[in-house]
Chains A and B, each alone.
Chain A
Amino acid sequence: MTGFPSDDVPELARGVHDMGGLPGGPVDRHEHAVSLWEKRVDALLVLLTRKGVFSVDELRNAIERLGAEAYTAMSYYERWTASIAWNLMQRGVITADELGKRMAEIEAEGRQ
């Protein structure tokens, strides 16, 4: 190995989330207000983990397994939403079928 641990990692072993030290551009310092749908997702996660339905480590684990393309393309709370859905299915709280049907129904009725 070289003198620099950071310079000598097998890139295939690097998760997309594990980005410390990679080259990046200027930090976009614009402020973004958190929208209501994002706050609701945030609240769902806090309450679900507080009740022990699943843990924050499971939230992160599923986010890390979205795949590089999806991870990069999705916004922060989109990633959370996908992970919450995955973990609720994993834990048997909801089924894929009822989630899919409910989404179609909401879309058809324009609910929010």
Chain B
Amino acid sequence: MTPAARLSVKRFKPGQAVRVRRAFPPGHIRTPIYIRGAAGVIERDCGDCVNAEERAFARSGLPALPLYRVRFRQQEIWPGYDGPDSDSIEIEIYANWLEPA
């Protein structure tokens, strides 16, 4: 069994509240460090995508992982954010980085 196959794969629906795992492993990680630990809402399900964390080390990246676009409120991410409450940021995040909030 490849390491990727052991990852727990969660399915979320648009509108569902999620939290990005607060973890700092070494490796090739596509979840920016500034968003780890933040709470957001699923914007859309992008389908299953090759696991970049695995493919970065010359493996197939299969099984594919669900990829989501998650929306966050800027005022919850940055201290002293200079903009209205309605400003947001959207990031593509793989399922292994998300937990239900």
Contacts A4-B77, A91-B58: A61 and B28 contacting too (C-beta < 8 A)? yes
Q: Choose among B33, B61, B76, B79 the residue with the greatest number of A CB atoms under 10 Å from its CB.
A: B33
Interface size in chain B (residues, C-beta < 8 A)? 23
B35 within 8 A of A: yes
A5: contacting residue among B36, B55, B56, CB under 8 A: B36
Question: Is there an interface contact between B32 and A18, defined as CB atoms closer than 8 Å?
Answer: yes
Interface size in chain A (residues, C-beta < 8 A)? 25
Interface of A is mostly: loop
Question: Is there an interface contact between A57 and B36, defined as CB atoms closer than 8 Å?
Answer: no
Q: Tell me which residues across on chain A come within 8 A of B78, comparing CB atoms.
A: 4, 6-7, 21
Interchain CA distance A56-B80 in the complex, whole Å: 36
Question: Is there an interface contact between A7 and B79, defined as CB atoms closer than 8 Å?
Answer: yes
Interchain CA distance A1-B28 in the complex, whole Å: 24
A6: contacting residue among B29, B56, B77, CB under 8 A: B77
Give chain A's interface residues, CB within 8 Å of chain B.
1-10, 13-15, 18, 20-21, 54-55, 57-58, 60-61, 64, 90-91
